Structure 1
Amino acid sequence: MTIHENTKVALVPQALTGIDYPSLTPPQEQALDQACASVAPSWPLDRLIAVSPFWTLRGEDFASVSARLSALANLRCLMPPSHYLGRWQRGEITNHHLTQAAERIGYRGGYRNLLSVVEELGRLPHWHNISDLVDARRDRQHKMAWRDEITHQISQFCAAFFQEDGPLNAGRLNAPSDKRLYQHWRDMTIKDRGIAILMGEPGLGRYFATLPDSETGLLQAAIAELDVDANRLSGYAQALLLDINGWAAWVAYRDWQQGLASSDAPRTPSAMRSLLAIRLAWELVLWRYTREQKPDQADRLTSLWHRELVELPERIERHHRALQPLWVWQLASELAYQQPLNRALSESARAESPVSTQPSLQAVFCIDVRSEPLRRALEQQSPAIQTLGFAGFFGLPLEYRPSGAAMAQPHLPGLLAPRVTLSSGAAEGDRRSAQRLNWQARLQEWSRAASATFTAVEAGGLLYAGKLLSRSLASRAKRNSLAMDRLTWQWRDTGETLSLEDQARLARTVLEAMGLTEHFAPRVLLVGHASHSANNPHAAGLECGACGGQSGEVSVRALTRLLNDPALRRKLADSGIAIPDQTRFVPALHHTITDRIGLPEGDSPLTPLERQWLDRAGAAARRKRASSLGLTPDGADLGETLDRRGEDWSQTRPEWGLANNASFIAAPRRVTAPIDLAGRSFLHDYDWRTDRDFARLELIMTAPMVVAHWINMQYNASTLDNRKLGSGNKVLHNVVGGHIGVFEGNGGDLRIGLPMQSLHDGERWRHEPLRLSVYLAAPPEAIEAIIERHEMLRSLVENDWLHLFSLDDQGGEILAYRGRDWVAP
Structure 2
Amino acid sequence: MASDTCTLTQAQHSAIQTACQQLAPSWPLDQMIAVSPYWPMRHERIEQVSARLSALAGISMLMPESDYLDWYRRGLISPQALRTALAESGLGLNVDELIQTIEQSEEKLPWQSLSALLDEHRARHKMAWRDEIIHQISQFCAAHFQQAQPMLHREHSQAQPDLYAHWLVVSQRDRGLSIVLDEPDLHRYFKQLPDDPNALIAQALSTFGVQDEQVELYAHALLLDIGGWGAWVAYLRWQGELNGEPHDQMLDLLAIRMAWELVLWRYQQAHFPTFFTTLEHAWKQSLGRLQNLPAQHQTQQKPLWVWARAAELSYQQQLHHALSSPVNTSAHPIQCQAAFCIDVRSEIYRRALEAQSDGVQTMGFAGFFGLPLSYQPQQADVNRPQCPGLLLPSLVATHAQSDKHGAASLNAQARWQGFSKSATASFSMVESAGWLDTFKLLKKAFFASEQAHPVDKLANRQDWSLTQNGEELSARQKAELAAGVLHAMGFEQFAPTVLLVGHGSHSTNNLQEAGLGCGACGGQSGEVNVKVLAWLLNDKAVRTELQALGVEIPEQTRFIAALHNTTTDHLRCYGEQPGTEIMSWLQSATAAAQKERAAKLDEQLADADREALDQALIARSQDWSQTRPEWGLANNAAFIVTPRSWTRGIDLQGRSFLHDYQWQHDPDFKVLETIMTAPMLVTHWINMQYNASTTDNLHFGSGNKVLHNAVGGNIGVFEGNGGDLRTGLAMQSLHNGHDWMHQVQRLSVYLAAPKSAIKEITARHDVVKQLIDNEWLYVFQWQETGEISRFYQQRWWPVSAAQISQDEEQKIVQCL
TM-score higher than 0.5 here? Answer: yes
CA offsets per residue over residues 464-498 of structure 1, 9 Å max, x none? 1221122112354132362434422111xx31221
Q: Which residue of 2 aligns with 1:484?
A: 461
The alpha-carbon deviation at position 800 of structure 1 amounts to 0.5
Which whole-Å CA distance do the structure 1 matches of 2:758 and 2:543 have between them? 34
**What is the identity, as a one-letter code, of the residue corresponding to 1:613?**
W
The structural deviation recorded for 1:694 is 0.9
> Contact (CA 8 Å) 1:475, 1:643: kept in 2 or not?
no
Distance in 1 (alpha carbons) for counterparts of 2:167 and 2:396: 37
Superposed counterparts of 1:528-607, under 5 Å: 528-600=502-574, 603-604=576-577, 606-607=578-579
For the residue of structure 2 that corresponds to 1:693, the secondary structure is coil
Match of 2:200 among 218, 243, 254: 218
* 1-structure distance, mates of 2:397, 2:156: 34
Are residue 186 (structure 1) and residue 168 (structure 2) matched? yes
* Secondary structure, counterpart of 1:665 in structure 2: strand
Q: Contact conserved, 1:117 with 1:322, CA < 8 A, in 2? A: no
Query: Which range is displaced more, 589-598 or 85-94?
Result: 85-94
- Which of 37, 46, 50 is the equivalent residue of 1:66? 50
Matched, 1:460 2:438: no
5 Å-filtered alignment, 1:197-212, equals 197-212=179-194
Of residues 122, 130, 144, the one that matches 1:147 is 130
Kindly tell me: are residues 158 and 813 of structure 1, through their superposed partners in 2, closer, same or farther at Cα, counting changes over 3 Å? same
TM-superposition CA deviations, 1:169-223 (whole Å, max 9, x none):
xx9996666x421010000000000001000100111100000011111111111
| Per-residue Cα deviation, 1:550-595 (whole angstroms, up to 9, x for no partner) | 0000000000000000110011111110001000000011110111
CA distance in 1, matches of 2:38, 2:489: 30
Following superposition, the deviation at residue 120 of structure 1 comes to 3.3
1:410 paired residue among 374, 385, 394: 385
Distance in 2 between the 1:216 and 1:618 partners?
59
Could you tell me how far 1:458 is from its partner in structure 2?
Answer: 3.4
Residue in structure 1 matched with residue 69 of structure 2 by the alignment: 85
Instruction: Report the equivalent of 2:302.
Output: 324
SS of residue paired to 1:692: coil
Matching residue within 281, 293, 300 for 2:271: 293
User: 2:121 aligned with 1:106, yes or no?
Assistant: no
1:768 aligns to what SS in structure 2? coil
For 1:32-77, what per-residue CA distance to the aligned partner results, in whole angstroms no more than 9, with x for missing partners?
1111100000000001100000011100000000001001100000
Label 1:137 to 1:367 Cα distance change in 2 as closer, same or farther (>3 A): same
Match of 2:709 in 1: 734
Matched, 1:241 2:216: no
Q: Distance in 2 between matches of 1:55 and 1:502?
A: 36
Q: Residue 5 of structure 2 contacts residue 199 of structure 2 at CA under 8 Å; is this kept in 1?
A: no
TM-score by length of 1: 0.93
* Letter of the structure 1 residue corresponding to residue 620 of structure 2: R
1:686 maps to 661
Partner residue of 1:231? 213
How far off its partner does 1:352 sit?
4.0
Q: 1:203 to 1:352 in 2, by over 3 A?
A: closer
| Stretch of structure 1 that moved more, 742-751 or 112-121 | 112-121
Gaps of 5+ in 1: 1-15
Output aligned runs, 1:354-753, within 5 Å: 354=330, 356-424=331-399, 426-427=401-402, 429-430=403-404, 432-448=405-421, 452-479=425-452, 480=457, 482-491=459-468, 494-516=469-491, 518-600=492-574, 603-604=576-577, 606-630=578-602, 631-635=605-609, 636-753=611-728
Paired letter, 1:756: M
Task: Give per-residue Cα distances to partners, 1:124-156, cap 9 Å, x unaligned.
Answer: 2320111101111110x2000010000000000
Q: Which amino acid aligns with 1:457?
A: V
For the residue of structure 2 that corresponds to 1:488, the secondary structure is strand
Does the Cα contact within 8 Å between 1:400 and 1:410 map onto a contact in 2? yes
2:58, 2:109 within 8 Å by CA — same for their partners in 1?
no
Counterpart pick for 2:317 among 319, 339, 361: 339
Residue 639 of structure 1: how far off its partner (Å): 1.1
Q: Does the 8 A contact of 2:26 with 2:727 survive in 1?
A: yes
In structure 2, what residue type is equivalent to 1:306? Answer: K
Which residue of 2 is the match for residue 302 of structure 1?
A: 280
Mapped partners of 1:164, 1:455: distance in 2: 19
CA gap 1:468/1:779 in 2 versus in 1, 3 angstroms: same
SS at the partner of 1:370? helix
Q: Tell me the equivalent position of 2:809.
A: none
Task: Structure 2: give runs of 5+ residues left out of the alignment.
Answer: 800-816
**Equivalent residues of 2:422, 2:713 under 8 A apart:** no
8 Å contact kept, 1:775–1:806: yes
Aligned partners of 1:404, 1:436: CA distance in 2, in Å? 11
TM-superposed deviation, 1:346: 1.5
Displacement after TM superposition at 1:340 (Å): 1.2
Deviates more, 1:772-781 or 1:461-470: 461-470
CA distance in 1 between partners of 2:554 and 2:216 (Å)? 61
Q: Partners in 2 of 1:113 and 1:440 — Cα distance?
A: 60
User: 2: CA distance between counterparts of 1:217 and 1:208?
Assistant: 14
User: What amino acid sits opposite 1:331 in the alignment?
Assistant: R
Q: Give the equivalent residue in structure 1 for 2:329.
A: 353
The question of whether the paired residues in 1 share the 8 Å contact of 2:101 and 2:303 is answered with no
For residues 341-375 of structure 1, what are the alpha-carbon distances to aligned partners after superposition, in whole Å with 9 as ceiling and x for unaligned?
Answer: 1121111xx14432x12301000010000000110
- Asked if 2 retains the 8 angstrom alpha-carbon contact of 1:425 and 1:483, the reply is no
Q: Which residue of 1 aligns with 2:802?
A: none
1:48 aligned to which of 3, 12, 32: 32
Q: State, as a whole percentage, how many aligned pairs show the same letter.
A: 49
SS across alignment from 2:35? coil
| Paired residue type of 1:609 | E
Q: Which residue of 2 aligns with 1:8?
A: none
SS at match of 1:121: coil
Cα distance, 1:107–1:484 mapped onto 2, change above 3 Å: farther
Number of positions where the alignment pairs a residue of Structure 1 with one of Structure 2: 787
Is 1:156 matched with 2:139? yes
**Structure 1 vs Structure 2 CA RMSD:** 1.8
Shift of 1:450: 5.8
Distance 1:425 1:258, change over 3 A: same
Q: CA deviation at 1:658?
A: 0.4
Contact 1:593 1:642 in 2 (8 A): yes
Q: Is the 8 A contact 2:372 2:386 kept in 1?
A: yes
CA distance, structure 2, for counterparts of residue 161 and residue 270 of structure 1: 15
- Determine the C-alpha separation between the residues in 2 that align with 1:453 and 1:768: 41
| 8 Å CA contact 1:529, 1:591 repeated in 2 | yes
Decide whether aligned partners of structure 1 residues 370 and 450 sit closer, same or farther in structure 2, where only a CA change above 3 A counts. Answer: closer
Q: d(CA) in 2 for partners of 1:748 and 1:281?
A: 18
Distance 1:667 1:453 in 2: 52
Residues 232 and 570 (structure 1 numbering): CA distance in 2 closer, same or farther, change over 3 Å?
Answer: same
Does the C-alpha gap of structure 1 residues 118 and 282 become closer, same or farther in structure 2, counting only changes over 3 Å? farther
**SS, match of residue 637 in structure 1:** helix
Give yes or no for the alignment of 1:766 onto 2:741.
yes
> 1:414 & 1:230 partners in 2: Cα distance?
36
Letter in 2 for 1:20: T
